[in-house]
Amino acid sequence: MWDLKLNNNCNHRIINELLEIKGSYPTYYATLKRPVFGNNLIVKIIDEDNLFVLNPTLLKYELGTDHKTLRLNIDTIEVDVRSDIYPKHSYYATYYTNQENCPKCIEGTNKTNDIYISVLGRPIITEGFERMIQSVKKILITALKSNLFDQDYGSELPNLIGKPKTVLTLLKAQNTIQEAIDYIKTNQMKNYELLSDEEKVIKIDNFQVLPSNDPKVLNFSFEIYNLSGQNVNIGVSI
């Protein structure tokens, strides 16, 4: 079986950023929110009429040495935001930035939790061992009883965030993780023959508390095993 892949390498692509046009007619410029990197420093600029066009008409520009400033109306006048123009024109930029400046990355890890579509228009999927890992992570970060269609899906981990670092908190965390794994195992029995051995959760083991410099943060890890004999260490911080 397969699932939509929720954790992907971020492409650092900024799509249809609304430009704030400055200057006076016809000498206009705009400053991007992020510096342009990669993809040969190409910026695709379109107006509102081309937002949903398959092959949009791209506006010309010159990119400044700061990789952010766009000088517009190169050779021909394509941008006009004079106050007497109605309706007021809007212009959008699509470009690539880098990991350091990307707003989509998760804490600078080069990862994003968006569902991605491939260049062929198909959703990127995950299966086998990676699907098992994703299913475990998904249930742990979902608050118990937050799923209206299945009140038993999820864990208490989100509710333990910010709780005092006590033995009781640790025991609750360990217990809710075990209950979440038991939930997965029980539900896998319903479609057992359809699952590969790589997807079948067998057990968790080696639960460890990890050091933390923050007195409010509790770090721990555990290992999860599948029927194929593969295992992976999963870290949790609350």
Q: What are the residues facing 205 on neighbouring strands?
A: 223
157 and 82 within one domain: no
In a domain, 92, yes or no: yes
| Cβ neighbours, 10 Å, residue 166 | 10
228 and 138 within one domain: yes
Residue that the structure tokens 């705009």 belong to = 30
* Contact call for residues 179 and 155 (beta carbons, < 8 A): yes
- Name the token pair of 105: 């990355």
Of 131 and 22, more confident: 22
Q: Find, among 181, 105, 107, the residue nearest to 140 by Cα.
A: 181
- Name the token pair of 118: 């491939």
Sheet containing 61-63, strands listed edge to edge, beginning at the edge strand earlier in sequence: 22-24, 27-31, 69-72, 61-63
In a domain, 208, yes or no: yes
To the nearest whole number, what is the mean pLDDT of the chain? 86
Domain count of the fold of the chain: 2
Ranges 84-88, 93-97, 114-118, 229-233: which has the least confidence? 114-118
For the domain that residue 216 is a member of, what is the CATH number?
3.10.450.40
224: part of which helix (H) or strand (E)? strand 219-226
**pTM reported for the whole predicted model:** 0.57
184 and 130 within one domain: yes
135: part of which helix (H) or strand (E)? helix 128-141
128 and 87 within one domain: no
Q: Which domain holds residue 147?
A: 124-237
User: Does 100 have pLDDT greater than 90?
Assistant: no
Characterise 227 by phi-psi region: left (phi > 0), alpha (psi -120 to 50), beta (else). Answer: alpha
Contacts of 3 (CB under 8 A, 6+ apart): 125, 126, 127, 131, 134, 135
In a domain, 219, yes or no: yes
229 and 129 within one domain: yes
* Contact call for residues 61 and 43 (beta carbons, < 8 A): yes
Of 147 and 56, more confident: 56
Q: Find, among 105, 98, 108, 115, the residue nearest to 39 by Cα.
A: 98
Under the banding of pLDDT at 50, 70 and 90, the label for residue 61 is very high
pLDDT of residue 107: 62
Q: Please state, in angstroms and rounded to a whole number, the distance separating the CA atoms of residues 96 and 35.
A: 8
